[in-house]
Amino acid sequence: MQIINTRIETDDDIDRKLAICEAVTASNTRTLELDRVQVYGFRVGVSVIDTREVIIRKALIEKCSIGIYSPKQQERVGSLITLEDCEFKSMFYGFLIANRKVKIKMTSVKFLDVPKPLLLNKASVDTLL
């Protein structure tokens, strides 16, 4: 699945603590590619469940509670999340990765006004590039 040159946003009047929506959810997918995508104002920017490969390039994820999320309950398939030239701005968690089978590779990633940019499980920390 590819999403290219797209802006996904919610209304500014929604309190982020009360937001329940997710901008992009990939579940049981071989590949998710986001290229030049802007995500603004969601509880979760990108949610990854049982997706083998996630490639995010030149993306801006802003004013979300969580930028990228991979929950613990689904651990059948390992994932590789690759980020290149991305920016996470004004959110509480940049990455919240509970899934032990997620590997992360980051190149030129900026975290601006993100108190907890990387909240990872030990297995993901061991494989972080």
HSE of 29, CA atoms in CB hemisphere, 13 A: 17
Query: pLDDT per residue over 89-120, tens digit each?
Result: 999 999 999 888 889 999 999 999 999 999 98
Residues in the chain: 129
* Least confident among 36-45, 65-74, 83-92, 109-118: 65-74
Contact between 50 and 73 under an 8 Å Cβ cutoff? The reply is no
Give 113's DSSP letter.
Answer: S
Give the pLDDT band (50/70/90) at residue 126.
Answer: confident
Q: Phi and psi (nearest 5°) for 127? A: -110, 5
pLDDT in tens, 16-41: 666 678 999 998 889 999 999 999 99
- Amino acid identity at 24: V
Number of H helices, E strands in the chain: 1, 11
37-51 b/e (C-beta count within 10 Å ≥ 16 → b): bbbbbbbbbbbbbbb
Task: Give pLDDT, residue 17.
Answer: 61
> Does residue 11 have a pLDDT over 80?
no
Residue 100's pLDDT is what? Answer: 85
Query: For residues 125 and 8, which has the higher predicted lDDT (pLDDT)?
Result: 8
Q: pTM, whole model, 2 decimals? A: 0.89
Tell which residue, 18, 65, 71, has the closest CA to residue 39: 65
Strand pairing category for 31-40 and 60-62: parallel
